[in-house]
A and B are shown apart, each in its own frame.
Chain A
Amino acid sequence: MAVPHTVDVLVIGGGATGAGVLRDLARRGMTSLLVDREDFATGTSGRYHGLLHSGGRYVGKDKVAARECIEENRVLRRIAPASIEDTGGYFVATPDDPDDYVEAFADNCNQSGVDCDEVRVADLLAREPAINPGIRRAFRVPDGSIEPWGLIEAMVADARARGSDALTYHKVIGMEVAGGRIETVTVRDERTGSVSRVWPKFVVSAAGAWAGQIAALANVKVEMTPGKGTMLVYNYRVTDAVINRCHRSSDGDIMVPIHSVSILGTTDIKVPDPDDYDITRAEIRRLVDEGEKLFPSLREMRILRAYAGVRPLYQAPADTVAGAGNRSISRAHAILDHADQGVDNFVSIVGGKMTTHRLMAEQTVDAVAQKLGNTTACTTADEVLPGMEPGHHYWVGHRLADHEAEGGGDADLLCECELVTRRMAEAYLDTHWPCSIDDVRRGTRVGMGPCQGAFCTFRVAGLVAERLDAHTKATGRPAPGTEPGTPEEVGHAPGSGSLHAAIADRALTAFMRERAKGVRPIASGRQLQELMMTNLVFVDVLGVESLSTASALVFEDEEAVDAAR
């Protein structure tokens, strides 16, 4: 895919907001290009708890955010049905939650327009037996869960159908500012290393927590306050509905069922660099300690991995309160017109959340349209996204039912845990090649189940090698540096065997390292045993140490595993 020379708008950042902006621009007739330094949704959009907010979490402190949430909740259910599971949600008052908050909850919901019904505690406990039987009251709200990858792909597809485009693995490395405008933006293809320049009329930064870094390329100052949120993935459905604690939002107070797992969220810790943070054991302890108040058996349940995302929090310089924690920063969004810093064709959209991404995009594009003299109205709330059927929501059993309809069983399953077939993986590779196994994961959920890649990674690596071989056979030339990395980078010594195998090996070890990274902080009990078995499969059975990419040992970090014990 070539980088076009000129576009109306260049959108930086392939998260939900960036994709939403791209779609909105395209629908209003502004041909645009989106670039992301990695795959879609590799930043915050792919690393959140999966909640489609009803607004209930904000009714106590931020009624504007709450109202935006419920309105957008309704819009997304309509336009992105396949990305949403209509789980419903509950706010439950545990013995630890303050009476005044609980008393005011229903009224607060009312004032923000959030549908809220009190339900009998006994009825809820019958439906959701994992909840603390000591809860005093329970309120039902229209929470749901929303899956980012399919949603973003659908928005990009809608934009592409209108002449716009999106390029992943294209990193913005420079901007040329002249005469109070960004003249050109330089992007580098992270896989081939080739550098191109784009002349956009306008630039939108939807880089979220990274907005400060992007703005700096145009000598614009944007002070982000990235807030790290750590989440724990539980092996399966702890609950069928979203369960929140009825108190001011805090750590470890929400469980979101999404796909085949449940996610306990979250912490909120300010981090200086959105690319550099660790998940600490103290955070995990805190999550489980708090989560236990909702689910008394939580400690016995199996955690598959821990992961963290960084909230794109932004606090206008004037609003800064000394010493206030990150939870006090508004979750609302802001559109920053950088004309005030002398760059006239550049805005950044910061703050906000997945549930309101469409609204954020609409308001951003309103600002852009005004500047470009475009008067077309926004239509992103009107039409169902391509590939989705109105009213047909996601449901947890669909993959099992679909696989069953295709004949079922283990045959052709690459990933047994998440029921990913060879056909599904091939289909993803057909449309996304070249890409990494981690991209295949985002597209198909391969490697996301209890074994965390132990039994599927080598199968997917096999597909990657097959594809490289097929390319060579078909073209008579070696496949280009398809996996990120050149022959030198993958450690392929001339004459040491197939370059394709070396690339596939590298893909394998890279993926396994990424998986192991999320398992290590929580590795205990069965998941530690699983890790040991994975080690057995990869090191003792497959001899991963002897691969040409031997530097990339999967579990070299024995110390961490020991510590986890």
Chain B
Amino acid sequence: MSIADIVREATELPVSRSADECLKCNVCNTVCPVLRVTDKFPGPKYSGPQGQRFRLAHLQPIGGPGSANPPSPDASVDYCSGCGWCTTACPAGVKIAEMNNQARARLREGTRPKLRDWGLGQTDLTGTLGVAFSPIANVAMRNRPLRRAMELAIGVHHKAPVPPFAKRTFHATWKRRQAKAGTGSGKAQPGPDKAIVYFHGCSANYYEPHVAEAAVWVLRRNGFETIVPDQVCCGLPLISNGLYEDARAHACKNAKSLARYAKAGYRIIGTSTSCTHTIKAEYEEMLDMRDEDTRAISAATWDIMEFLLDLHEQGRLDTGFGRLDEDLPYHAPCQLRSHGIGLPALDLFALIPGLRARDMDHDCCGIAGTYGLKREKYDIAMAVGRPLFDKITASGATVAACDSETCRWQIEAATGVRTRHPIEILAESYRAMDRARGTAEPPGA
């Protein structure tokens, strides 16, 4: 145990006890994007440190599961989107969003999860099936009557943004490519200064393999090979839907697969800010996993923009960026703010000649993972993101950028503006340079 661990253990409060820190100052309420647009959510202060005092101290109600006295008596806490702004803003250190999340999980304790909430949590299953049947699935998901039927049947709003499935998962493509190249068998694996471990998460695997490809390409350009170990969904969709036990199972699998790399000094790089935040913080905070393996992978995990900016600060980033003469509205997702790493994408965009990237300076697009997909929350999510959508539309730009997948899908659906991961913008800029130099290589190489 390092000194940092000892200090952390001594100073970090468990989520439930952090209610003690609340001074009732209201800062959380002033930053809550949901409270601003609806009365259905009573606000972070009310649902969090105040509501906490009316919940039993432990998980099981006295009368056992299903008793008339549930451990979480306020169903309204379900309207918290989990964006995390309250926790970020609280000057006293109350873990409000986490508290709400636990209350949501307790709300569901002892009752069978809704099919929808269960389903939204099973991103690996949905993704695997979706990719396997992608020609049919993608047509079906564009079919209005079918989507209305789906809304009635399971409560996913018919207008909610659902991206098309990829034809093949990134993971499968990668494996095939590795097999073809004969890597992984004879050749010695490059060390942690020459390679990183890539956590693609579900979005880059099942829906946006082009994001993963761009990441691999940019990393290689900067002298890092990519290792893609076996992995499963980080578990965040399960946590958001109150299914902690399933999420723990996911976290254990990931810890088992990734820990040996982390302990060998490899950095784990992700292109999804929400996956990386989950591994960094929520495995311990929400799932109460404090084992050595989990701690090792948490400490080794980086967001890809954070990693690249760090390279730049060390003078190791290839700054040969080609000119991109365009306006680029940029939305920083809520999860990115929870990382506490600033807005590294914007700092990197500033290196690209001609690019006029502008922070849209809006707190939340509304989607908050799976929140905005739900029938009863779709309108709230759209209202939360409305000022952002209006700004992006007004900018006249044809492309926008955002680090988080569900935000990208939400923004695209609401504005019609193509929204890309910052890594794709960087890749495009490098390619522009290659074209200018006449050294362009075919994409995907």
Contact = CB atoms under 8 A, between A and B. Distances in A.
Partners in one complex: yes
Give 5 closest A-B pairs by Cβ, nearest first: A397-B73, A401-B73, A409-B42, A302-B20, A400-B54
Q: Is chain A's binding surface mostly helix, strand, loop or mixed?
A: loop
Contacts of A404: 73-76
Interface string A378-412: 00000000000000000111111100100011110
A400 B51 contact: yes
Interface in A446-497: 449-451, 454-455
Given A240-B58, A409-B46, A417-B50, 5 more contacts: A86-B62, A260-B54, A400-B54, A409-B43, A529-B23
A404 B43 CA distance: 13
Contacts of B221: none
A400 B73 CA distance: 6
A130 B42 contact: no
Interface residues of A, number: 44
A408 B53 CA distance: 16
A235 B53 contact: yes
Contacts of A397: 54-56, 69-74
Contacts of A127: 58, 60
B228 interface: no
Contact of A236 (B53, B72, B73): B53
B92 interface: yes
Contacts of A129: 58
Nearest to A261: B53
A530 interface: yes
B176 interface: no
Contacts of A128: 57-58
B23 A530 contact: yes
Nearest to B67: A395
Nearest to B39: A409
A533 interface: yes
Interface of A: 86-88, 127-130, 235-240, 257, 260-261, 297, 300-302, 395-401, 404, 408-411, 416-417, 419, 449-451, 454-455, 526, 529-530, 533
Interface in B84-108: 92
Interface in B16-74: 17, 19-25, 39, 42-43, 45-46, 49-58, 60, 62, 69-74
Contacts of B19: 235-236
A396 B63 CA distance: 13
A396 to B, nearest CB: 6
A411 B40 CA distance: 12
B21 A526 contact: yes
A526 B58 contact: no
A257 B57 contact: yes
- Chain B CB within 10 A, most for which of A128, A257, A397, A401: A397
B208 to A, nearest CB: 38
A396 B21 contact: no
A526 B23 CA distance: 7
Given A416-B24, A416-B46, A533-B23, A395 B69 contact: yes
A404 B23 CA distance: 23
A537 to B, nearest CB: 10
B76 A409 contact: yes
A239 B57 contact: yes
B74 A400 contact: yes
Contact of A449 (B20, B53, B72): B53
Contacts of B24: 416-417, 450-451, 454-455, 530, 533
A302 B46 CA distance: 19
B94 to A, nearest CB: 10
A236 B48 CA distance: 13
A184 to B, nearest CB: 49
B51 A396 contact: no
Interface in B414-430: none
Interface in B142-157: none
Nearest to A530: B23
B24 to A, nearest CB: 5
- Chain B CB within 10 A, most for which of A235, A261, A533: A235
A130 B74 CA distance: 24
Interface string B206-233: 0000000000000000000000000000
Nearest to B46: A410
17 contacts: A87-B62, A128-B58, A236-B20, A261-B53, A297-B17, A302-B21, A397-B56, A397-B72, A400-B51, A400-B73, A409-B43, A410-B42, A416-B45, A417-B53, A450-B49, A526-B92, A533-B24
Contacts of B43: 409-410
A234 to B, nearest CB: 9
B56 A240 contact: yes
B156 to A, nearest CB: 26
Contacts of A86: 62
A548 B62 CA distance: 51
Nearest to A396: B54
Contact of B17 (A257, A301, A411, A450): A301
A236 B17 CA distance: 9
B402 to A, nearest CB: 31
Given A526-B92, A530-B23, A533-B23, A260 B53 contact: yes
A303 to B, nearest CB: 10
Contacts of A454: 24
Contact of B56 (A235, A396, A450, A533): A396
